[in-house]
Every structure is written in structure tokens, then in C-alpha cells.
Amino acid sequence: MTEKPVNRKGISKARARFIRESADVRRQALIEATARCLAEKGVAGTSVRAICARAGVSSGLLTHYFDGVDALILATYEDVGVRVSAALEQAVEEAGDDPRDQLRACLQANFRAPILDPDLLATWTAFWSLVRTDPGIAAIHADVYRRTRAQLEALLRAIVPEMPQDRARLAAISLTALVDGLWLEICLDPTTFSAEEAQAMVERAMMLALGQWRGDAGRGDWIDQSDKP
Amino acid sequence: MTEKPVNRKGISKARARFIRESADVRRQALIEATARCLAEKGVAGTSVRAICARAGVSSGLLTHYFDGVDALILATYEDVGVRVSAALEQAVEEAGDDPRDQLRACLQANFRAPILDPDLLATWTAFWSLVRTDPGIAAIHADVYRRTRAQLEALLRAIVPEMPQDRARLAAISLTALVDGLWLEICLDPTTFSAEEAQAMVERAMMLALGQWRGDAGRGDWIDQSDKP
DNA sequence: GGAACTGACAAGCCCATGGCTCTCATCAAC
DNA sequence: GTTGATGAGAGCCATGGGCTTGTCAGTTCC
């Protein structure tokens, strides 16, 4: 008595096979598909159907696991933010014990894979454009940047303990802004300057922030002075 | 024999009065409406109907004056870019004859009205998110940033003629990136630092780029040395 | 000064696409 | 085999962009 399933138009349909996955696997797949969509086609091209097609699932599944497409985008922002933080963290750990090396590594890692990636910037600009209108995105943004600055501030004060609190704060803000600006521009238009030049610029800014630069407008040499009075 | 105009449903319609405007006025009105839409509702909320409602015209007029909504967004980018450049140019002119004052004014004007404006950032992030996918936007972006850097480079070399070409180039890139990063962050989240602090940071970076800073990690005083050896 | 003309303009239709829901098939655990 | 959650897929309503049609405001020519 098993009759073939028939839709409203009377056409027999064969439902596709599928495998059951855990909620975590599905969520992660949807998040990664969203990031790829944002990167490749921008916010406008990031639709439920596009995301689900990339994730290889049907469109109904998005609503099943997330509270709509906006919630998925928010989850994607969180995930991407965590991965960037992890990449920076790893760079710091691989840099050894000298806080100066750690700071340099933390800054320069922004101009190497996986952070130096135009696709990642496309994802990020999509989020920036949502900060204004979406309080949830704004909250995550504030948190991500606060953590970044706090980390830089801690490294600065580890290197130069006598640096005043306020100066460390402003230095961390400046370095973050410089890195952001360089990263933005090199991802948007890689022909203007190279990743190596970007790394040199942030290293120079770092040294200047540490107050270990002597004005020699012509040569640009570094003055090594590891121990301070 | 004048019968009332009747639409397909047989309902008599009274066409709204309108006034004829010149093409320039209409184009400008549409461009400004687009900028406001981008600022308030992001790219997703910037539809033909939304733009035209803001401009106070019917939706058909957009196609009449522009080659679709994409072309209008592109024109808006051009217009906004020109206005920002004009604001910076004006700041330079009002700064007097000293190129040092001009450079400072050019940098610090980014943290005053009309450039320090979250709405403007929203517009700008919308454009950034389009650079990847739209070659027209990418070309305009490259041009705008090239001009900005060229201006900074010229000012730097006017202040310190003996500065090598490459160092001036990198300094201009760094200053642009710093300004962009600070401007981005202060517009996204004004609670992190103030406009005055941003101006102080760019002034400090400017002085450091000019090589007129002496390492005094603790105090942060300026060393005035207008004449160089 | 009025009639014909030109083109800016409004209104609304058409089709595509978007997000979401609803129904029901399918799989895995018991 | 039973069962219940996972998942597919069509459908629904809203919205979007572009186009077509027809009107009305200035202009021109007599």
C-alpha cells in the first residue's frame, strides 16, 4: 500500500537522501557557508538560499538551527572574530617569551595568512555596515575591539612598565587603528603597497610607541636599546 | 470629451502634481537621498523605492536619470568622495601658508564635522563592501585614495624637502591608514576615545613621521625644532 | 496669447527573488 | 519495528528592480 509521494501538482517526487549530522556540525557548516557568501557576493548576495546551497542543505534547515538569517550572520561574526583572535594569539605564543617579540608578532600577523585575506575583509566590511543598524553586532564589535586593545596595552606595559596608563591606552588605540587601516587598504587594493611594507610600517610605529626611536629623518635606522635606565 | 483617467482596475486616479526640475537638481536630489538611505538603513535597505521616497519622486524617475540603482550608488560614491576631498582641501586652505600647519589641518579635519559623522561612515562601509564585486567602485576607490596619499606626500616633502621619496610614500600610507582606522573606530563606537584624542594621536604620528620626535617614553612632550641642520 | 509639441514625471505592472513556514520523508537509536 | 528528531522541499507572502504607459508642465511657433 505504499504509494509514491505526490506533491500538489500531481508530480511524483523523490526526496533526496541525506545524512544526519550533529547540531554542532550543521551550525558550523552554515556559519562557514555564510562567511564564504559574504566574502564572495557581499551582503546583498547572502540570502538564505545561497547560504544553504553552499552548505549543501535545504533552505528550511537554516530556520531549524538559527533564528533567521540575521541571527546566522551574527553567529558568523562571532565565529570569525574568534578565529582572528585565535590566529593572533597563536602568533604571540610562537613568538617566544620576549614581550617585544610578542607584540611585534601580534601586529605583523595581521599581514600574513589567514588574516591577510581579501575574503576576510569582505566579511568584515559586511559586519561594519551592520554595526550601525544591529545592536547585537554592535555589542560583539565593541567586545572584540576592547579585547584587542587590552591585549596590546598589556604587551606595551610588559615591555615598558613605566609607561603611564593613559599613554599605553592611546598607543594601543593608535596601533590598532594603524593595523586596521593598513589591513583595510591592502585587502581592498593590494597594488598600493606590499605586505612586507605593511609589516615594516607597523614595526616602526611600534618602536615609536615604545619611545625608542631617535629622530633621524633621513636614514630610518633602528636604535637598539633593549635595557632602559 | 475629456474622460477621467482610469487604470486597469477601473478605479479613477488623480495623478499627483509635480514640478519640473532641471536634470542636475534631480540627479543631486537622488544622490543625496541615496547617501541618506545608505547611512540610515545600510546597503540592504537602499532600494529604488526607498531612495525615491526620500527624494520625493516616483520610482520611475531613478531609471530615467540613472542607468539603474547600481549606477546611482556609484554616482553617490563619486559625489561623497568629492565632498570629503573638498572638506579636506578647505581645511588646508584655512590653515595658512605653513605646510606643517596645512598637514596638521588636513589630518585633523578628519575628526571634525562634516567628516566625523557616523552616517558618512555607514555610507563609506557600504562602498567598501562593494569594492570587491564592482569594478567601477574599485576604480573610484583607487583614485580617491591615490589622490589622498599624493596630497599627504606632497605636504610631507614640502615640510622636509630632504625626506627620501620612498620614506615620504610610506609615511603618507601610514598616516592615511592611521586616520582611516581611527575614523572608522570612532564612528563605529564613539565611547572608546574622543575626537580630541584622535586629533592628538594623528598629530603625534605626524610629528614622528617628520622625524622631530625625541624618545622620551614617559612624558610625551613635543620638541619644537622648526629648522633642521 | 493660444495651440501644438516635447520630454520630465507618476503610477503601477511584471517577474524574480527574499525570508520564512508547513508538511512530510528519512534516518538513527532503542 | 517504533519513535522522534533531523532534514528536504514546495509554497506563501512581501519586496525588489526594471519597464511600460500615459499625463502634465514648460517651450515654441504662429
DSSP assignment of chain B equals --PPPB-TTS-B--PPP-----HHHHHHHHHHHHHHHHHHHTTTT--HHHHHHHHTS-THHHHHHSSSHHHHHHHHHHHHHHHHHHHHHHHHHTT-S-HHHHHHHHHHGGGSTTTS-HHHHHHHHHHHHHHTT-HHHHHHHHHHHHHHHHHHHHHHHHH-TTS-HHHHHHHHHHHHHHHHHHHHHHHH-TTSS-HHHHHHHHHHHHHHHTT--B--TTT-------S--
pLDDT tens digits for range B83-121:
999 999 999 999 999 999 999 999 999 999 899 999 899
For residue A174, name the pLDDT band (cuts at 50, 70, 90): very high
Mean pLDDT of A2-24: 61
Separation CA B209–CA B104 (nearest Å)? 12
Separation CA A138–CA B191 (nearest Å)? 12
pLDDT at A14: 65
pLDDT at A134: 82
> How far apart, in Å, do the first and last CA atoms of chain B sit?
92
pLDDT at A223: 40
pTM to 2 decimal places: 0.84
Mean model confidence pLDDT for chain A: 85
Give the nucleotide at minimum CA-to-C1' distance from B71: D17
Mean pLDDT of B60-82: 92
pLDDT at A1: 37
pLDDT at B212: 53
> Has residue A2 got a pLDDT over 70?
no
Nucleotides of D under 7 A from a protein CB: 6-11, 15-26
pLDDT tens digits for range B186-217:
999 999 999 999 999 999 999 999 875 333 33
For residue A13, name the pLDDT band (cuts at 50, 70, 90): low
pLDDT at B224: 39
Lowest mean pLDDT among A32-41, A215-224, B33-42, B123-132: A215-224
CB A140 within 8 A of CB A178: no
Mean pLDDT of B44-51: 92
Separation CA A190–CA A27 (nearest Å)? 33
Instruction: State the nearest residue by CA to the C1' of C21.
Output: A60
For residue A132, name the pLDDT band (cuts at 50, 70, 90): confident
Of B146, B162, B178, the CB nearest to A181: B178
For residue B175, name the pLDDT band (cuts at 50, 70, 90): very high
> Has residue A148 got a pLDDT over 80?
yes
| CB of B6 lies under 7 Å from some atom of strand C | no
- Nearest residue to B205 via CA among B106, B69, B72: B106
pLDDT tens digits for range A35-80:
999 988 888 889 999 999 999 999 999 999 999 999 999 999 999 9
Instruction: Kindly list the residues from chain A whose CB atom is less than 8 angstroms away from the CB atom of residue B122.
Output: 129, 132
Residue type, B132: R
Share of chain B above pLDDT 70, in %: 86
Separation CA A29–CA A25 (nearest Å)? 6
Q: A211–B216: do the CB atoms touch at under 8 Å?
A: yes
Taken in order B18, B21, B23, B29, the sign of the CA dihedral is negative
pLDDT at B197: 97
Residue A6 or A95, more confident: A95
pLDDT at B5: 41
CB A38 within 8 A of CB A123: yes
**Residue B165: how many CB atoms within 10 A of its CB?**
9
Share of chain A above pLDDT 90, in %: 66
Distances in whole angstroms, Cα of residue A193 to Cα of each of A182, A189, B120: 9, 9, 26
Give the nucleotide at minimum CA-to-C1' distance from B16: C10
Instruction: State the nearest residue by CA to the C1' of C10.
Output: B58
Residue B14 or A133, more confident: A133
Separation CA B220–CA A82 (nearest Å)? 35
Separation CA A114–CA A128 (nearest Å)? 20
Q: B145–A218: do the CB atoms touch at under 8 Å?
A: no
